[in-house]
Amino acid sequence: MSATMTTIVHDTTEAVCLSSEYNLYLKPIAKMTVSVALPQLKLPGKSISNWEVMERVKAMVAPEQFSALRISKSTMDFIRFEGEVRAVENKVDFPTRHDWDSFFRDAKDMNETLPGERPDTIHMEGIPCRWFSKKDSPFPDRPSEESSLRSLRHLARNST
């Protein structure tokens, strides 16, 4: 393992044990690279401060903060920064079941009894029933609820 892949961590409050035998811990940090393309300078003697660009990058991510940010490469055309941010699992910004129900209950222009009027329902039409029948069924043209649910779960897993 190279030295660039490991980091000595002094603040272990968020560290998660990976292997106590080898004294390995994980810390929820995401490393990222930010490249800033610089404009061509028209006036002679005019320069762009790396420090100024770094402060602007920090301001752009506010209110979030980099735990570390450094310049990894600087040329006349671009500046490349390497930064670290605290990684956390984000809460999905999606309405709750109560939010859905109250929205559609109070909507005057929607009738939830009509097919396709609720976005949390799927309306299928013209699909052969045999696609959702059990393989060994004596009635191959009768759909099975179990087969339908299995197919739709498979579709849901593959679409996310």
The domain ranges of the chain are: 3-86, 92-119, 124-160
Q: How far apart are CA 111 and CA 29, in angstroms?
A: 47
CA distances, 154 to each of 59, 102, 127, 148 (Å) = 44, 30, 17, 10
pLDDT for res 56 = 94
* Bridge partners (DSSP) listed for residue 36: 79
* Bridge partners (DSSP) listed for residue 71: 81
pTM above 0.75, yes or no: no
Q: Quick: pLDDT tens for 13-54.
A: 778 877 777 777 778 888 899 999 998 877 777 788 999 999
* Bridge partners (DSSP) listed for residue 140: none
* First vs last C-alpha separation in the chain: 34
Is 117's pLDDT higher than 90? no
Residue 3's pLDDT band (cuts 50, 70, 90): very low
Q: How far apart are CA 102 and CA 118, in angstroms?
A: 12
